[in-house]
Amino acid sequence: MTSFRGRLWSRLEAVCRFMPVIVNTVLVVSITGEVMYLVMVEAPLEPEQKERDWAPLWKGVHLASQIFMFGNILWNASLFLRTSPSIRGVFLEGSAVGQGWRYCYACETHIPPRCSHCYDCKVCVLRKDHHCVFFGQCVGFKNYRYFLSCLLFMWAGLLYAVVLNVEVFIIILKEGITPHSVLLLLMPWIMLITGQVTARAFAFAFVADTCVVGCLCVSAFLFFHVALMLRGQTTREWYSNQRPYSLGWRRNILECLGERWYVAWLCPLIPSPFPGDGIHFLVTAPPSGVRSDNVNSGKN
């Protein structure tokens, strides 16, 4: 019985680990499909505008933009999940153990500065930023570029979707601000369950609401991580209010996005090698607990 429960719990844990990825994929596909439908069929409201503002050329431009953003989101997310930021496969024992190195009793090895153990991934992560619950994986040295690029294109796609879904909000509020329109905007599920709206109206209202909420949430995450990147900080270092690894905004970007940082964000297939190895870092200020005479200056 114990072994059966253990196997059952292990399977449930594996399913729950991939559930956020599945939910996010469904939402991205749904929003992209709804926006494409708005461009091809519904938009705009007035028939004369269809001929004037939504000619086939403009529809092609809109569709190409959506496909570009959608492809970048999925590609960056895929590379993020396939790129392990952990110490597995990284030769650490030959490295000179110096200031800032610690011993991880869970992994039974010495780990370099900015490396930390993740109890969800059950391994130490190089330059650990945080464990992303939406992807079910840690954000670290090797996959930070893909994480940030995915956030960027998710934000651009959601902002684009919000602009196009303005038409949906106009249709809902065309009758005025009534209890029916307000409830449809704020609680579309209740309106569907009680039979107040059709499934089609519910789908449009739900996706439009998801676009607005998602855009606000992703905006907060994106701007926060861009600020961290410019400051040369990880989320963990931001919590402790430390900036010992800041080398100036240009070098900080290069450390996160690689040598071709100025174009690397356009496509995840553009090669952009990192200047470091995720083990050794230049410092410009002594981290907490480290004497200032042991700090190597590396500011440009």
Residue tagged active-site, from 118, 132, 217, 256: 132
CA 164 to chain centre: 22
Q: Report CA torsion sign: 256, 129, 16, 104.
A: positive
DSSP state of 293: G
- Between helices 56-82 and 2-37, what is the axis angle to 10°? 160
CA pair distance 113, 279, nearest whole angstrom = 7
Q: What are the two backbone dihedrals, phi and then psi, of residue 87, each rounded to the nearest 5 degrees?
A: -85, 0
CA pair distance 199, 214, nearest whole angstrom = 22
- Between helices 2-37 and 144-164, what is the axis angle to 10°? 50
Active site residue 132: yes
Other CB atoms closer than 10 Å to residue 230's CB: what's the count?
A: 15
Instruction: Give catalytic residue positions.
Output: 132
